[in-house]
A and B are shown apart, each in its own frame.
Chain A
């Protein structure tokens, strides 16, 4: 968190933010599920000016072998930023920041996946940030959880993610880039709306305990909205294409004759 430059007014006289939002207003969010052909599951997220793709492969045989867990699947996330995703070209390949984000997203997702169903396997989650504008870890976790569901991975729930923070002494939800750069605090949150569980939480900057309370409840409200968009994206993928007749629901135990 840097200091506020004097010429940048993060909140104006009317209480509006740089992009015209009110403190509790989120940036527009669009999610599309099942967008890649090779991956087992995928999702594309546009969140404000963020563009993030997530793909899932697995459960599949876990390599390297020494990472295999005889009792459960390993959820391995890889968060990567494209070199052109930021204003100053980023050197390709992982850095310390992306390793850390990969780790905390893996952990957040592991909590909701029924890993015990797939001993010795790995479930590989790839997050590619194509365009970054603050909040990419939230966008990445949001996309990854839709991609996991799209891959048919059994889960307790979807993880939704959203951040809150403090700019110009005001607690706001879903920081944009300038707010992140010149604001006073940031709280990215990963949340399971159904259970109220917090599965990802970071914070940096300076907050009073009241501000923190307000911030985290704003982030939770944000997550609930994100969750609705995630759900819609998954349902939209399988919308009924033709209507009229009653659906023939086939059970999980199909006939084995005739083969």
Chain B
């Protein structure tokens, strides 16, 4: 609790600095924090990545097991995304079953990779209607300094790129690389006193009026969005974030 005590004063200070065009960590409004991605970090996973975005740190693991397809998609593998906002990562996270916040994170990550067709789920079908690969994408947050959405999205994309379908272990022929189709990259921006800032830190997130996440694929098309918090955006602001997402997404994609 005591770490959040100075929030009100910080809000004032952050807002005053933004008026002068400065963010508390010295970044420009449209600048991401330093990003490092370590793939194949977890040997027990079929694909994995450790992502550091500033002080935010997540590990994404991809596991594949055999199972049955859903009745309405007999020819497709199954994608399941789960996020663990464990108390290790922040004194604001609590143990126990997933709360609304971790469910939102998981669902926004899921939407980006599902709708952006990160993985060709049809190629994860073994026998239509009977047997398919079930792909678990597990996001484990170790250190929380804001913008879990993008850190986890980047981690998922990086993990897919190096993931192997463990067909041999399951007695289903030879192993093969996970059929990656697109790289839907998300960008999250917040609005504080009318200013739009990308990749918010924890302090910025806490004082933000509104938040918008936009995921785009290689050709610039949009595949997923999520607006959060109780403030509002103008249409122009939304357009601006979409634009930023395309531009920054391209840069991130080139670095994976």
Seen from chain A, the residues whose Cβ lies within 8 Å of a Cβ on chain B are 36-39, 49, 51, 53, 55, 57, 60-61, 78, 80, 82-89, 92-93, 124, 126, 128, 130-133
Contacts and interface: CB of A to CB of B under 8 A. Distances in A.
A92 B82 contact: yes
Given A89-B136, A92-B82, A128 B142 contact: yes
Contact of A128 (B43, B44, B63, B140): B140
A61 B142 contact: no
B62 interface: yes
Nearest to A53: B142
Contact of B89 (A38, A61, A85, A132): A38
Given A84-B44, A130-B59, A38 B140 contact: no
A81 to B, nearest CB: 10
Contacts of B88: 36, 39, 53, 55, 126, 128
Given A83-B138, A84-B61, A38 B143 contact: yes
A131 B143 contact: no
Question: Interface size for chain B: under 10, 10 to 19, 20 to 34, or 35 or more residues?
Answer: 20 to 34
A130 B43 CA distance: 10
B108 interface: no
Nearest to A93: B97
A61 B144 contact: no
29 contacts: A36-B143, A37-B145, A38-B89, A38-B91, A38-B143, A38-B144, A39-B88, A55-B88, A57-B91, A60-B2, A80-B86, A82-B42, A82-B61, A83-B140, A84-B44, A84-B45, A84-B138, A85-B44, A85-B61, A89-B65, A89-B136, A92-B138, A124-B87, A126-B86, A126-B88, A128-B86, A131-B42, A131-B44, A132-B44
A162 to B, nearest CB: 22
A92 B95 CA distance: 11
A179 to B, nearest CB: 17
B166 to A, nearest CB: 9
B55 A37 contact: yes
Can you list the 6 inter-chain pairs with the closest CB atoms, starting with the nearest?
A: A84-B61, A126-B88, A37-B55, A84-B45, A89-B63, A55-B88
A133 B2 CA distance: 38
Nearest to A55: B88
A207 B45 CA distance: 34
A80 B65 CA distance: 22
B217 to A, nearest CB: 26
B66 to A, nearest CB: 11
Contacts of A60: 2, 91
B87 A36 contact: no
Contacts of A78: 87, 95
B235 interface: no
Interface in B139-171: 140, 142-145
Given A37-B143, A83-B136, 4 more contacts: A38-B91, A83-B138, A84-B140, A130-B42
